[in-house]
Amino acid sequence: MTNETRAQGADKPALIVGVLLLAVAFLVGYDASQQTITSTYGIGPTAMPYVVACGLVVLGLAHFVTAFRGGLPKPDAADSQALLWIAGGLVCLIGCIGLGGGFVIAIALLFACTSRGMGRQALAVDLAIGFVLGLAIYLTFAKLLTLILPSGPLERLFL
C-alpha cells in the first residue's frame, strides 16, 4: 500500500488537507482584514486571527511536505452506504426541524435511519420505536422541565 502511493508521488489526502488548511487560513486572514473597528488601547480584534492564520499556513505547508514523505495513515475502505444512511437521518432531522415538522417526527426519522445504517433491516419497527422515544422525551421536557422542544402539528396535540 505505502509503496504504491510512493510510486505515484504524493499522498492525496495529505495534499487535500494542506489545501483546506490554506483555504481556512485565507478565510480567517481575509475576515480580519475586513474589520473596521479596532481597539484604542492594547491589541485589537485582528491580532489573534492573523496569528491563527499564520499558524494554519505553516501547518498547511507542513502537510504538503508530509504528502511527499509517506503521507497520512492509510485508512481501510469505508462502507459508504452506512455513512449515507446516517447522514440521511441527520439531514431528515434538520429538514424536519427547519420546516416545522416538530421534534417527535424528526427523532423518529433519525433513529430509524441510524439503526438502518448500523445494519438493522427493520425500518418500520425502528420508526415506531423512534416515535415513542421522541414522544416520551418531548413530554418529559415539556411537562417536567417546562422546556419546549421544537414543535410541529403533532406536538401541539399533546400540549
Partner 1 sequence: MDTLLSLLHGFTVALEPSKLLFCLIGVFLGTAVGVLPGIGPALTVALLLPVTFKLDPGGSLIMFAGIYYGGMYGGSTTAILLNAPGESASLATALEGSKMAKAGRGGPALATSAIGSFVAGLIATIGLAFLAPWLVEVAVKFGPWDYFALMIVAFVTVSATFGDSPLRGLTSLFLGIALGLIGIDKLTGQARLTFGVPELLNGVEVTTLAVGLFAVGEAFYVASKRFRDPEEIIPIKGSLWMTKEDWKRSWAPWLRGTAFGFPIGALPAGGAEVPTFLSYSTEKKLCKYPDEFGKGAIEGVAGPEAANNASAAGTLVPLLTLGLPTSATAAIMLAGFQQYGLNPGPLLFAEKPDLVWGLIASLFIANVMLVILNLPLIGLWVRLLAIPQPWLYAGILVFATMGTLAVNGSPVELTMLFAFGFIGYLMRRYDYPVAPMVVGLILGPMAEAQLRRALQISLGDPMILLQNPISATLLGIAFLALVAPFVMKGLNRFKASED
Partner 2 sequence: MLTSILKRGAITAVALAALSTAAFAQLNELKIMAPAAPGGGWDGTARSMQQALTGAGIVKSVQVNNVTGAGGTIGLSQLIGAKGQGDQLMVNGFVMVGAILLNKSPVNLTQITPIARLTAEAEVIVVPAESPLKTAKDLAEKLKADPAKVTWAGGSAGGTDHILAALFAQAVGADAKKINYIPFSGGGEALAAMLGGRVTAGVSGYGEFEGQIKAGKLRVLAVSSPKRLENAPDAPTLKEQGIDLELLNWRSVVAPPGLSAEQTKALTDTVEKMAKSKEWQEILKARGWDDAFLAGPAFDSFLKNEIERVGKVMHEVGLVK
Q: List binders of partner 1 among 120-149 (CB under 8 A).
A: 120, 126, 129-130, 133-134, 137, 141, 145-147, 149
Residues contacting partner 1: total by CB under 8 A:
72
Q: Which amino acid is at 90?
A: L
Helix (H, G, I), strand (E, B) or coil at 1: coil
Q: Toward partner 1, which CB reaches closer, 6 or 50? A: 50
Indicate which single residue of 80, 81, 121, 146 sits in contact with partner 2 (rule: CB under 8 A).
Answer: 146
Radius of gyration, CA atoms only, the chain: 24
Which part of the chain contacts partner 2 (CB under 8 A), choosing from 5-13, 35-43, 71-79, 127-135? Answer: 35-43
Burial class (CB in 10 A: 0-12, 13-18, 19+), 6: middle
Task: Centre a 10 Å sphere on the Cβ of residue 110 and count the other Cβ atoms it contains.
Answer: 21
Residues that bind partner 2 (CB under 8 A): 36-37, 40-41, 146-148, 159
